[in-house]
A and B are shown apart, each in its own frame.
Chain A
Amino acid sequence: MMKTLIIAEHENGVIKSATLSAVTAAKALAAPMDMLVVGSNPAAAADSAAQIGGVDNVFTVENAALAYPLAELIAPLAKQLSDGYTHILVGASTFGKDLAPRIAALCGVNQLSDVIEVVDATTFKRPIYAGNAIATVKSHDATRVITVRGTAFPAADASGGNATISAADVTVGEAKVRFVRADVTESDRPELDSADIVVSGGRGVGSKEDFSKVFELADKLGAAVGASRAAVDSGFVPNDMQVGQTGKMVAPKLYIAVGISGAIQHIAGMKESGVIVAINKDEEAPIFKVADYGLVGDLHEILPELVSKI
């Protein structure tokens, strides 16, 4: 008898899109689905979780020590609940990537990262080598601990469900780790991993000041802003804007790459986008090989013109 447990990632009472994508992946398993919601005050998030279509039971753990989601505390909770679950799913965000391997090791099983397709209950597809190859893997473990790549599964409907909420019968341990502070990038723009349009800038943008032109175009389009590793390493923008193999995976309807040459590692993070536009002064730039529309020219002239004409 199959049964799936999803570990929820939430903020301000809202279940994150990475978790909603995991729900969609779990539906492909066609098994009963429960969700674990932990926090210092998880009631609002638990209510949100209970409304997600397809979720049967929501288990909560309320503890002041869980104010920041530490893998050292959450993994043992998942382990305590794991009996009877054939699948444990987490979104492949930094939350999920930090947590899932720790759960798997406590359960004594291997883990499957960044799953992009559920072939059957034990067989999954996942990208390897920065997405330059797709592996089909079969898990022979009793519990499959999986992180789900959000760009491969649409977010599940956050309404229409009516799950039962109850407190999980588990014990919160002590962690030899302390949350010190978060330096969160405040932005009114849409989130990178769920925006319909993403405008990304690379080293070719030139400087931190010139990156404002990228922001202007994004704001005109109601888009999220991303960046290549080169732009982040050059200090133009903060790390959480990096799109690529080791940054964020995005798959918007429209992706506009500005001054980005198109390293393999960057393309790995955006090639699932619906339509790709590349703007670059170097007509030989590899980014044009994946772009639906390429415009060769000086971005410092093209960006203001775009802003004025949209």
Chain B
Amino acid sequence: MKAIVAVKRVIDYNVKVRVKADRTDVDLANTKMSINPFCEIAVEEAVRLKEAGVVSEIVVVSVGPKAVQEQMRYAMALGADRGIQVETDSTPSSLDVARLLAKINEEEQADLFILGKQAIDTDNNQTGQMLAALLDIPQATFASEVKIADGRAEVTREVDGGLVTVEVHLPAVVTTDLRLNEPRFAALPKIMQAKRKPLVVKTLDELGVSLSHSIELLAVEPPAERQAGVRVASVDELLEKLRNEAQVL
């Protein structure tokens, strides 16, 4: 069984973003970049499925400039077998990435697609669902548990009311939630080995996909900041403030 895992290079989880002075975008110059945490969970899940003998090959795909190879190599250090980079300096939309993955799949014919549920930069939460739509296959989003047997995946999903379990026929798309697993650390020998794993670079032209550019970014502003309030010394003072000053009790 072949699994395709898509990964995105994003600002590191622990770095606070700043908006550029001209308010055209956020300032990512000299910022630490990492694999999107949900994508890392996706890679880990694929690796665990491979270790369990369910998945035989893991193909990691990323879309972006040459720098994304850093995150692809990281995915390979965790256990992905080979990589396909779609090289572009433009910023693709979720639909663009879904179209590229669908195009790549014409050749790859994967049984399972594992994607992070959202990227922590754009917070879109779209690509997995769009890929499933384009391929006309089921989607199990926001997964916290994945069990695969007999050409089906039983997936527990984190939804607003609690947990929902669905059974999807493969091929299918699974998008990962936070509690699906805890990714391992990449050991140094694995990091060295990952440098020698095959990584193919494809262009948009080669794949015959052009980017949609239908969402135009007009401005990026910092959010309205909350003013830090006051410290109260006791429960009595807190209740007095809530009753008389804030009038919320």
Interface residues of A (CB under 8 A from B): 68, 70-72, 75, 93-95, 97-106, 108-114, 123, 127-141, 175-185, 193, 197, 221, 229, 232-233, 238-240, 245-246, 248, 253-254, 264, 271, 274-277, 288-296, 302, 305-306, 309-310
Contact across chains for A239 and B118 when beta carbons are under 8 A apart: no
Contact across chains for B141 and A97 when beta carbons are under 8 A apart: yes
Contact across chains for B159 and A101 when beta carbons are under 8 A apart: no
Q: Is B212 an interface residue (CB 8 A)?
A: yes
Q: Is B87 an interface residue (CB 8 A)?
A: no
Contact across chains for B159 and A240 when beta carbons are under 8 A apart: yes
Contact across chains for B239 and A101 when beta carbons are under 8 A apart: no
Lowest 3 CB-CB distances: which A-B pairs, in order? Answer: A292-B229, A105-B133, A101-B129
User: Which single residue of chain A is at the shortest CB-CB distance from B216?
Assistant: A138
- Alpha-carbon gap, A72 to B138, bound state (A): 6
Stretch in contact with the other chain, from B43-51, B52-60, B91-99, B193-201: B91-99
- Alpha-carbon gap, A139 to B215, bound state (A): 5
Stretch in contact with the other chain, from B61-69, B71-79, B164-172, B183-191: B164-172
Among B95, B138, B158, the residue within 8 A (CB) of A177 is B138
- Alpha-carbon gap, A147 to B157, bound state (A): 20
- Alpha-carbon gap, A134 to B158, bound state (A): 26
Q: Is B122 an interface residue (CB 8 A)?
A: yes
User: Which single residue of chain A is at the shortest CB-CB distance from B219?
Assistant: A136
Contact across chains for A240 and B139 when beta carbons are under 8 A apart: no
Interface residues of B (CB under 8 A from A): 11, 16-17, 19, 26, 93-95, 98, 117-118, 120-134, 137-142, 144, 154, 157-169, 172, 177-179, 212-223, 226, 228-236, 238-239, 241-242, 246, 248-249
B216, chain A: closest CB distance, angstroms? 4
Residue numbers in B under 8 Å from A290 (CB-CB): 226, 228
User: Which single residue of chain A is at the shortest CB-CB distance from B167?
Assistant: A178
State the majority secondary structure of interface residues on B.
Answer: mixed
B182, chain A: closest CB distance, angstroms? 9
Residue numbers in A under 8 Å from B154 (CB-CB): 180
Contact across chains for A128 and B123 when beta carbons are under 8 A apart: yes
A58, chain B: closest CB distance, angstroms? 23
Contact across chains for B215 and A138 when beta carbons are under 8 A apart: yes
Among B138, B139, B165, B232, the residue within 8 A (CB) of A293 is B232
A100, chain B: closest CB distance, angstroms? 8
State the majority secondary structure of interface residues on A.
Answer: mixed
B227, chain A: closest CB distance, angstroms? 8
Residue numbers in B under 8 Å from A264 (CB-CB): 16
User: Which single residue of chain B is at the shortest CB-CB distance from A70?
Assistant: B166
- 16 A-B pairs besides A182-B165, A197-B248, A246-B178 with CB distance below 8 A are A94-B141, A94-B157, A100-B129, A104-B126, A108-B95, A109-B95, A132-B17, A139-B216, A176-B168, A177-B140, A182-B164, A183-B165, A240-B158, A276-B226, A293-B241, A295-B231
- Known interface pairs A248-B160, A292-B229, A293-B229; A110-B17 also in contact (CB < 8 Å): no
Contact across chains for B238 and A295 when beta carbons are under 8 A apart: yes
Residue numbers in B under 8 Å from A179 (CB-CB): 164-166
Residue numbers in B under 8 Å from A138 (CB-CB): 215-216, 218
Residue numbers in B under 8 Å from A123 (CB-CB): 218
B167, chain A: closest CB distance, angstroms? 5
Contact across chains for B215 and A177 when beta carbons are under 8 A apart: no
- Alpha-carbon gap, A294 to B242, bound state (A): 12
Contact across chains for B215 and A112 when beta carbons are under 8 A apart: yes
Contact across chains for A75 and B133 when beta carbons are under 8 A apart: yes
- Known interface pairs A101-B125, A101-B129, A132-B16; A293-B220 also in contact (CB < 8 Å): no
- Alpha-carbon gap, A106 to B131, bound state (A): 10
Contact across chains for B129 and A292 when beta carbons are under 8 A apart: no
Residue numbers in A under 8 Å from B249 (CB-CB): 221, 254, 310
- Known interface pairs A109-B214, A110-B215, A245-B120; A275-B246 also in contact (CB < 8 Å): yes
Contact across chains for B163 and A110 when beta carbons are under 8 A apart: no
Residue numbers in B under 8 Å from A101 (CB-CB): 94, 124-130, 133
7 pairs from A and B in contact (CB 8 Å cutoff): A99-B129, A110-B212, A133-B26, A141-B214, A238-B163, A295-B235, A310-B239
